Structure 1
Amino acid sequence: MTDEALLHPLIRAGLPKARQRIKHYKEQGLITLQNGAVSLVKLAEQQIKDFAAWKKRESSKKTYQRLQQRAALVQK
């Protein structure tokens, strides 16, 4: 039995995306073995920026959906 098999199914479902993010951060040079503390600070800053961008996208999607619903109600 692997370590992954012991994880909760929802956590296992999120692993591929998490691995992609880690790979992306490594390519950006945010995750390195040198200067551990500096690397962690840079990584935390980037994650905050990424979360803010995601939150903005999600908000835009929800706003767009609300506008579509209102337009559908007006057309009826």
Structure 2
Amino acid sequence: MPNCDQHDAFGKAEQLRQQIEQLNPQGIHTTASFGISDLTSMPDDACFDTLLKITDYALYRAKNEGRNRVFTISMAQS
């Protein structure tokens, strides 16, 4: 999300998560988990693969901590 800091990204992902949870298509309870990482917290020499790995780690943290949630992480936390 260009021009979006970690706080804004969290808010947008949380809003989307709530909308997905309310869909209930054909009576099926639907949830979503999101992982968010912050490009600005990464070293200047970090590559896309590093960003993707950190974001993937954040997604798995969201799933492991109960699913249906948004989890943010920065390089300082990883």
Compare relative contact order (CA 8 Å, sep 6+) and give the higher one, 1 or 2: 2
Give the number of the structure whose alpha-carbon radius of gyration is greater.
1
More strand as a share of residues: 2
- Give yes or no for TM over 0.5: no
Q: Report the TM-score, using the length of structure 1 for normalisation.
A: 0.31
More helix as a share of residues: 1
